[in-house]
Structure 1
Amino acid sequence: MQRGFEIVSKYADQGLTLPYRTTKQSAGYDFECATDFTLPSIWRHDVLHAFKQLRHREALTTDELTAGQHDLKPYLVPTGIKAYMQPGEVLILANRSSNPLKHQLVLPNGVGVIDADYYNNEKNEGEIFVQLLNFGLRDVVIKKGQRIAQGIFMPYLRVDDEQAPQQERIGGFGSSDRT
């Protein structure tokens, strides 16, 4: 097995579809949402309150900043899918072109990077989640089976004379963050 997709065990009997290419020339494999998921709009009371104060050049308290930032955070939308690949490969998650235009959804990180050692990690079995942000005025209900992102397997290169990292992946999403 060189590269591919599997359903994580907690979704084994939920009727999920493995990612697939829609046309012969598609580079990306379409990922679907694993469950019905409501993605709140970022335009909530706390954000609007903060913008209003900033517009009038009024100082924000720490609590107001925290509340406003909370409304602007992306959500992790579950796919129920994990991916395996060879060393020297990566799965890149990209937004579907219809998401911003039709659904007001964006990937706030631009692209998602799924490393080979994310597969079957201890924390979440390597389940792939798609970070999404809803910039529309209304909450968006993503239905189970709705396509939310696309994944592209790619090789990557290493620099000459690299001192190979010794750290092993011990967690799931964002586990290599050092902050």
Structure 2
Amino acid sequence: MRDILNFLVERKEMKMTKIRGFELVSSYTNQDLLPKRETAHAAGYDLKVAERTVIAPGEIVLVPTGVKAYMQAGEVLYLYDRSSNPRKKGLVLINSVGVIDGDYYGNPGNEGHIFAQMKNITDQEVVLEVGERVVQAVFAPFLIADGDEADGVRTGGFGSTGH
């Protein structure tokens, strides 16, 4: 229960000082992992591989990025596959689009660590090295349907809001 209360206090404090962006999760110190846009007109921030990852043929792996994202109420972070991944690396973002909700940040389950759920679509092992760009992340607003009265509180990390 204490973790949940600390999480809620942290969320309230964050809303007062930060707008949107990325931070390293506490177990990583490599500042090069912080996402960047490569060009002035790019919508997406490139997320990088935080730990050397080996993916066997046909295997699905959660690739750690070492970062978490904060945003305002009414915003979401979408993860998209890099267009070169299937052709150059033989990888696909298996869930097509990853959805990072605002309340994922700082959650007691994993601090909000963002993972890319990648599948090796080749018949050979794929090795991802630290610092390789793996997915792109785009901040966006979202809308809520009339009559929506959701009032639950996230209590866990990756995949914790589903069954």
TM-score by length of 1: 0.79
Q: CA deviation at 1:15?
A: 4.5
SS of 1:124's partner is coil
Aligned residue in 2 for 1:32: 48
CA drift of 1:167 comes to 1.4
Alignment of 1:3-152 (within 5 A): 3-12=20-29, 14-42=30-58, 74-152=60-138
Residues 51-83 of structure 1, C-alpha deviations (whole Å, 9 max, x = no match): xxxxxxxxxxxxxxxxxxxxx5x2100000000
Structure 2 counterpart of 1:38, one-letter code: V
SS of structure 2 residue aligned to 1:10: coil
Shift of 1:166: 2.1
Tell me the TM-score normalised to structure 2 length.
0.87
Contact 1:16 1:80 in 2 (8 A): no
Looking at structure 2, the residues matched to 16 and 125 of structure 1 have their Cα atoms a distance apart, in angstroms, of: 19
Secondary structure class of the residue paired with 1:83: strand
1:124-154 deviations in whole A, cap 9, x for unaligned? 1000000000011111000000000000000
Higher percent of residues as strand: 2
Does the CA contact (< 8 Å) of 1:7 and 1:16 recur in 2?
no
Residue identity (%): 49
Q: In structure 1, the residue corresponding to 2:86 is in which secondary structure?
A: helix
Alignment check: 8 A CA contact 1:134 1:140 kept:
yes
Report runs of 4+ in structure 1 exceeding 6 Å deviation: none
State which structure, 1 or 2, has the greater radius of gyration over its C-alpha atoms.
Answer: 1
Any conservation in 1 of the 2:24–2:31 contact (CA below 8 Å)? Answer: no
Q: Aligned letter for 1:151?
A: A
Q: What residue in structure 2 maps to residue 69 of structure 1?
A: none
Report the equivalent of 2:9: none
Query: For this pair of structures, how many residues does the alignment match?
Result: 146
